[in-house]
Chains A and B, each alone.
Chain A
Amino acid sequence: MKKIERDSIKKSLVTFKDVMKHYRGFAFGIVFILITLFLAILSFFSPYDPRIWNAVPKDLSPSLTYLLGTNTVGQDVFWLLTFATRNSLILGFVTATVAMVIGTVVGLVSGYKGKVTDKVLMSINDSFLVLPSLPILILIASFMGARLNMVAMGLILSLFSWPWSGRQVRSMVLSLREREFTYMAEFSGMSMFKIVFSEYLPFIIPLIFANFINTILWALGMEITLSIFGLSSLEIPTIGTMIYWGMQYQAMFRGIWWWIASPVVFSVLLFVSLFLVSSGINTFLDPRTRLQRLRTIGREHEERKEVRPE
């Protein structure tokens, strides 16, 4: 048992390397996400407090002293961006974690139990999928006012982001249910809880991870949207509030482009990277493309040496 486990871990490591090699976008995404994490950590070493205005001269264009220039209220755009990254990531993680837990549990239970439970859970799931989240979030945010910190906002956002993973986990479980080992486990008297969590979960983890990243992506986008409408705590630096203040001070039309361009370019790169990583995981999960990939890898092996049967 131990040996098989070790082998499969080894295999998955080989395949991760293969993904990095064959799917350049994935590698790019991973690298940029690492840069983002680095920026977020860098914020702890910032020479300026992001809440203090006029810490640096106003409206300077990017230079060696001020990497991304300074803005009209006298903040260093680069260091502001590190704080924004940290806060936006916290929001993303809170949302994605809560959404992941709810979505996975709903998907697992719904897919495994089937019948009425499945119908009830999935109709709730689909309702949240269909509901126009933005007006409702705006309603909530406008009643809550400035009490919304990153964690509270993350919790509220997760209300609308779990159903995607719920649906996907369910369809994965539906296909796992038909496999031999499910029947084996059932006949040998394993409880539903045990089958679902010890037998299915390992299969679903990559999918959950892909969904986790997608939810972060969605939460960051929603944060930008709500900030633009002026609905989050605007004194907390996030990617959204950075753009909000840049727009409020007409940065684009006054030629202080670096104020707007920095968060916009950064967030576009971040969004694309997150998407590339999650779709890289998904492509890799898809048995069809996985087979194709294995075949091409096999062919490469063939060219170099004999193919040994597994």
Chain B
Amino acid sequence: MDIRRYIIPRLIQFFIVIFIGITITFIVPRITPIDPVEAVINRIMQYGVYMDASSIEQMRATLVDLYGLSGSVIEQYGRYLLRLVSGDLGPSLSMFPTPVTEIIYNALPWTLGLLLTSMMISWVIGNILGGVSGYFSEKKWSKAISMVATTVYPIPYYIMGLIMIILFVYLIPLFPMSGGFSIGLTPSFSLGFIASLLKHAFLPALSLITIGCGWWFLSMKALSSTTKSEDFVQYAEASGIPRHKILFGYVIKNSMLPQVTQLALQIGGVFNGALVTEYLFSYPGLGQVLYIAITNGDFNLIMGISIFSVVAIALAALVVDLIYPLIDPRVRYS
């Protein structure tokens, strides 16, 4: 068995995820009772945009491919895919004629920054705490942390964000409630701007990290308390290897591997959480854009964000899967 037998199924999986996601977005506008093309064109007219006849026709062609009903279903699907492959998601309706891709591109750094930072932090903290706590599972403090994690993990992201706001904005006013940075500042690499950036990102990140930590903690604890009773750990203990070495070198290291695979499966859920959290804190990422799109009935933007997220999340999961052999010697050498 070589590395290809590991990679090829993952690549296939990647395309299946994208295929299913894209197909759902293809089907949805087609089974709803409204005619999306006319609804969209009416919507643009409502915003008082002036368009000459030829640009209306061009616009209609794009929309017909995106939502359209001309030709057989297979033909429609083919054109839809072609349109997506060329990266054309059409224009936004509420911010006409800005292309959807441009709006996503502008919001993306915020979402990525928030998502990746909080995911990394919670993964590391949750796994280390969970590993230690699983190894010393009989200790009082270990049980106490488990109790906190059990209480925190099942809370939905939105409610967690609300709790953070109640605690740190309303009761103890430490942090600003909304926005990405203070009004009046211009983005730059100055100390003041970065400080303002961090201060605004703190609460959204904290609520994502709290829930994330809860999840990684609980699953790591379960894994490491299983690893603890494996023969090689018992043997290491019997041969007198220092406990911290057993803990980090044997127990945590071995339980970490399934957690990497879990990371690939969890990305979608964490991304959902980031969207909700961004909206609650009016953080200028994709979640906020999505909300604006919903309130303005901007079907194109919602559709664009859905398609984009499907591809992005599938890609992220693939990257995690491809990193896996680098850290698991069993896949590399077998």
Contact = CB atoms under 8 A, between A and B. Distances in A.
Interface stretch (B93-101, B182-190, B265-273): B265-273
Nearest to A275: B154
A217 to B, nearest CB: 6
Interface stretch (A92-100, A122-130, A293-301): A122-130
Nearest to B33: A147
Interface size class of A (residues with CB under 8 A): 35 or more
B205 interface: no
B182 to A, nearest CB: 20
Contacts of B12: 123
Nearest to B273: A134
- B contacts with A: majority SS: helix
Contacts of A135: 275, 290, 302, 305-306, 309-310
Between A228, A243, A276, the greatest number of chain B beta carbons within 10 A of the residue's beta carbon is seen for A228
B306 A127 contact: no
B20 to A, nearest CB: 5
A230 B170 CA distance: 24
Given A130-B17, A229-B279, A139 B28 contact: yes
Interface in B288-303: 290-291, 294-295, 297, 299, 302-303
Contacts of B157: 221, 225
Interface stretch (B50-58, B69-77, B159-167): B159-167
A116 interface: no
Given A130-B267, A230-B294, A225 B29 contact: no
A71 B289 CA distance: 30
A132 interface: yes
Nearest to A223: B156
Contact of A132 (B36, B297, B310): B310
A267 B159 CA distance: 9
A101 B243 CA distance: 46
B162 A260 contact: yes
Contacts of B21: 127, 131, 136
Interface in A119-152: 123-124, 126-136, 138-140, 142-144, 147
A147 B34 CA distance: 12
Contact of A252 (B33, B166, B269): B166
A133 B25 CA distance: 12
A138 B294 contact: yes
A169 interface: no
A231 interface: yes
A281 interface: no
B162 A271 contact: no
Contacts of B36: 143
A131 B268 contact: yes
A127 B29 contact: no
B272 A134 contact: yes
B285 to A, nearest CB: 13
A64 interface: no
A140 B26 CA distance: 11
A231 to B, nearest CB: 7
A127 B17 contact: yes
Contacts of B17: 126-127, 130-131
B46 interface: no
Nearest to B267: A130
A144 B305 contact: no
A106 interface: no
Interface string A259-301: 0110010011001101110010000000010000000000000
A271 B158 CA distance: 13
Contacts of A187: none
B120 interface: no
Contacts of A124: 16, 20
A127 B272 CA distance: 16
Contacts of B170: 252-253
A93 to B, nearest CB: 18
Contacts of A136: 21, 24-25, 28, 306, 310
A139 B154 CA distance: 25
Contacts of A123: 12-13, 16
Contacts of A139: 25, 28, 302-303, 306
Given A130-B264, A132-B272, A221-B156, 8 more contacts: A127-B20, A130-B313, A140-B28, A144-B32, A217-B154, A221-B157, A221-B158, A252-B170
20 contacts: A123-B16, A127-B13, A129-B265, A130-B313, A130-B314, A131-B20, A131-B21, A132-B310, A134-B275, A135-B309, A136-B310, A144-B32, A228-B280, A229-B290, A230-B294, A230-B295, A243-B159, A267-B159, A271-B156, A288-B229
